[in-house]
Amino acid sequence: MKKICFYCIFLFILFPSVLHSKIVYIDINQILNESSAGKNALNELENNIKSQNSKFSSKEKELIEEEKKIITQKNILSEKDYNEKLVNLSKKVNDYNLYKSSQMKKFNDKKISLRNKFIELINPIIADYASSNNIDIVIRKEQMIIGKTELDISTSILKLVNKKISKIK
């Protein structure tokens, strides 16, 4: 029993820093969405997506009109010609769907890439902030269940990011 007490006291004396570690958390999504660089990058990406979606909708209207035209010609065309036009239309629709899904994948990849670049840019800022404020551990808010709001350093980091980062390249 004396040995256990001795070891406990020894550990508490030897490792006091472990008992007083300062742990904080940060909301990366908030910083990305509210920082000027993040807003600009997301707005640019969103504008590209909107313009692409308008192109998609016009192409979809064309395909629907073509389908209506083929259906109205059903009684006029021979069965062979009608089936041939339907096959061609279905091929166009399949090609369009493949193109649309590849474009959407590109936009998702670009969004992920922008997010990763942003994180790379803010990591040194977070590290400097942690070292200057004697913070031992910084955890992402997404990886936490619950925490005191006083431990959230997102607004402080957001101010630093707005000062130091003007654009995500």
Instruction: Look up the CATH number of the domain holding residue 160.
Output: 3.30.910.20
136 vs 77, higher pLDDT: 136
**Among residues 16, 2, 32, which one has the least CA distance to residue 141?**
32
Q: What is the pLDDT of residues 76-91, one digit of tens each?
A: 878 888 888 889 989 9
Q: Is the pLDDT of residue 52 over 70?
A: yes
Split into its structural domains, the chain has a count of 1
Is 11 within a domain? no
Q: What is the pLDDT of residues 55-68, one digit of tens each?
A: 999 999 998 998 88
Tell me the chain's radius of gyration from C-alpha atoms: 29
Q: Examine residue 50 and state whether it is found in any structural domain, yes or no.
A: yes
- Residue 153 bridge partners (DSSP): none
Segments forming the whole domain that contains residue 66: 21-164
> In this predicted structure, what is the pLDDT of residue 101?
94
The neighbour count for residue 164, using CB atoms within 10 Å, is: 13
8 Å CB contact between 35 and 158: yes
Answering whether pTM is above 0.75, one says no
Residue 5 included in any domain: no
Distance (Å, whole) CA 169 – CA 166 = 10
Residue 19, pLDDT > 80, answer no
